[in-house]
Structure 1
Amino acid sequence: MKQFNPIQQTLTLVKKDLVLELRQKYAFYGVLLYIVSTVFVINLMIDRPEEKMWNAMFWVILLFVCVNAVAKSFLQENRGRLLNFYSLVHPRCFIAAKLIYNILLMSLMSVIALVCSVIFLGNPIISMGYFFGVVLLGGVSLSILFTMLAAIAAQANQNAALMAIMGFPLIMPLLMLLANISRSAFITVYQPGLPKMFFLLGGLDLLIIALAMILFPFLWKD
């Protein structure tokens, strides 16, 4: 693969992950079962929650979906396979491919989680188009953050607990930001400061991507 340019290397790695996901369908169906069962259990416990609780529970569900779906992208790679990739591809191409693949996967999972939540928990959303867009943005943000955390944890003897410990102080501000942005979908009154929160979310995503591109080559060497 060394004769390929960076774009070709990245796309080849993305294709590799897609092929593996299609072959190992149990992983995808496992996350899908987690989404459906979690939303169904919430429905059995509290039936149709009010707007604020519905919004809060949806983002908590999406958080744990992201942990299950994205974390395995690095944790499933053993040392031998990583060593093989180290000799074939550039580290930035490798992390870029993981980011792209996890963004695609989490976007799909976010849509599935939204559909299941509307079916089982009711639909208190006033502006569905706006909320759908925020859900996609939130899925992208969560996937970017946990891809970076999974990359770090993978270099620490595949320690998934390390990812959870590092992720807690980072994920709380992101979840609060997403919950505040999505709140406008449940009300008809304009929410002040909304554009600033979108810029903050976009800036946070760009910062994490930049850190991943800068730091991952050093992690890769270890």
Structure 2
Amino acid sequence: MHLFKEIITLLKKEITLEWRRKYAFNGILLYIISTIFVCYLSFNLQKSQLNPLTWNALFWIILLFTATNAIAKSFMQESEGRQIYYYMLVSPEAIILSKIIYNTLLMWLMSFIGYLIYSTVLGNPVQDKLLFFINILLGGLGFSATLSMISAIASKSTQGGTLMAVLGFPVIIPLLLLLIKISKNAMDGLALSISYKEISTLLAINLIVLSISYLLFPYLWRS
């Protein structure tokens, strides 16, 4: 119960800070809109010319870089003095879980906004929208959990941005391949049961990353 209260308090802090610094949210939103607009121009302004496979790959690439830009700041923007202050007030488990939950909520919001704009501008070849939305939810959680922990590791280095890229993309690639495969099934309108294996694997990866973050972050936080 004490951990839950700490997480709620930290979540309120994150939301309050984001509300005050709207430029962070607006910057990410501008990135999504501008990237989609560039894709729109690149395909000669014709929805019908965009192959469904290309549509799928571009959508997840946009979300991947959106996640990287949004979550990279999770720990790297925290000063050493503020980290010491948090260390005295709350448990490290509460810190990492609150970061993951907040980043997941942010990714879900950005993903659905991006999907609405993307499908409006470039068409919507998705036939099974339920499976596609489940995939977006699992993908947002996976991106957030993975990149939040990597951001924590990178924040301990003087070259945090470079380390974030070096550590992040090799870890994210297997997750990204699964997300693209499930999305392809959703676009083809295949039965949900056909994607059970991929969904189960995706859930397992998310649980493993969450468990590792929960167990290892306290040691990283104390260093």
For the aligned pair, the TM-score class normalised by the smaller chain equals over 0.9
- Counting only pairs closer than 5 Å after superposition, residues 183-194 of structure 1 correspond to structure 2 as 183-190=184-191, 194=195
Conserved in 2, the CA contact under 8 Å of 1:111 and 1:136?
Answer: no
Conserved in 2, the CA contact under 8 Å of 1:127 and 1:186?
Answer: yes
- Counting only pairs closer than 5 Å after superposition, residues 15-54 of structure 1 correspond to structure 2 as 15-46=12-43, 47=45, 48=47, 49-54=50-55
Partner of 1:12: 9
Q: CA deviation at 1:192?
A: 7.7
| Structure 2, gaps ≥5 residues long | none
Cα deviation code 1:18-66 (max 9, x no counterpart): 0000000000000000000000110000143110000000000000000
Partner of 1:93: 94
Partner of 1:64: 65
* CA RMSD, Structure 1 to Structure 2 (Å): 1.5
Conserved in 2, the CA contact under 8 Å of 1:50 and 1:124?
Answer: no
In the comparison of the two structures, how many residue pairs are matched?
219
Q: Which stretch of structure 1 is more off in the superposition, 112-121 or 191-200?
A: 191-200
Q: CA deviation at 1:193?
A: 5.1
Partner of 1:219: 220
Identity percentage of aligned residues: 43
Conserved in 2, the CA contact under 8 Å of 1:144 and 1:208?
Answer: yes
Q: CA deviation at 1:72?
A: 1.0
| C-alpha separation in 1, matches of 2:158 and 2:64 | 24
Q: Which stretch of structure 1 is more off in the superposition, 182-191 or 81-90?
A: 182-191
Cα deviation code 1:104-153 (max 9, x no counterpart): 11110110110111111111111223212211221111111111111111
TM-score, reference length from structure 1: 0.94
Letter in 2 for 1:98: K
Cα deviation code 1:151-204 (max 9, x no counterpart): 111122361210110112111111100000111121134488521111110000
Conserved in 2, the CA contact under 8 Å of 1:56 and 1:179?
Answer: yes
| Structure 1, gaps ≥5 residues long | none
Letter in 1 for 2:31: Y
Partner of 1:172: 173
| C-alpha separation in 1, matches of 2:151 and 2:217 | 11
Conserved in 1, the CA contact under 8 Å of 2:128 and 2:190?
Answer: no
Structure 1 residue matching 2:127: 3-state secondary structure: coil
Letter in 2 for 1:22: W
TM-score, reference length from structure 2: 0.94
Partner of 1:102: 103
Cα deviation code 1:75-122 (max 9, x no counterpart): 111111111111111100111110111111111011011011111111
Partner of 1:162: 163
